Amino acid sequence: MQLCGETPADWWEVETLYDLCFAPGREALSSYRLRDEVAPVADLCLFLREDDGFLAAAIRYWPVRVGGQATLLLGPIAVHPTHQGEGLGGWLISESLARARGLGWARVLLVGDAPYYARFGFRKLTGVQMPPPTNPDRVLGLDLVPGGWDGVTGAVTRWAAL
């Protein structure tokens, strides 16, 4: 596997992987409203490609604000069905979180399954409101620096919104 940074030329190939891995209508989720007209964090959008060119997994991050504070929104992340269970998603998460720390980000937010993401250090957030409809039990966060989430509460809003 080769770890690659996503470029604009890769956009539709990565989108095709997301379409394959997620249910129809994924763009209707509230997290997609936070991404509207906002560029992803290019240095953190990564994918894994096999030597034969097959796209095996991809991850993207988006800037958002939580209570006015700059925050990374992880997602989507997808692993091609033929590679699920091989640890590729974990590889992308670990690598991208290390890069996010190196870029100076303080915190990461995601909507996902707590048992899966807990192994990377994510925990349920209280006082952070994703746009509806979002199950509050699935709103998770990770400190990229000590105390990165301390005192950070409120509504999650688009990056352009202050």
Q: Is the pLDDT assigned to residue 23 strictly greater than 80?
A: no
Question: Mind listing the pLDDT tens digit for each residue in 57-72?
Answer: 999 999 999 999 999 9
Total residues belonging to the chain: 162
CA–CA separation, 156 and 13 (whole Å)? 29
Return the CATH number at 28: 3.40.630.30
Query: Where are the extended beta strands (E) located within the chain?
Result: 2-5, 46-49, 55-66, 69-79, 107-111, 123-124, 128-129, 139-143, 154-158
Question: Mind listing the pLDDT tens digit for each residue in 110-161?
Answer: 999 999 999 999 999 999 999 988 899 999 999 999 999 999 999 999 997 4
C-alpha distances out from residue 117 to 90, 111, 162, Å: 9, 10, 29
Give the closest residue to 113 by CA, choosing from 75, 87, 79, 151: 75
Give the total number of structural domains in the chain.
1
Domain of 132, in residue numbers: 2-158
Q: Is the pLDDT assigned to residue 162 strictly greater than 60?
A: no
- 33: pLDDT confidence band, cut at 50, 70 and 90? confident
Q: What is the mean pLDDT of the chain?
A: 92
Cβ atoms within 10 A of the Cβ of 9, count?
7
Which amino acid type is present at position 82?
T
- 22: pLDDT confidence band, cut at 50, 70 and 90? confident
Say if CB 97 and CB 75 are below 8 A apart: no
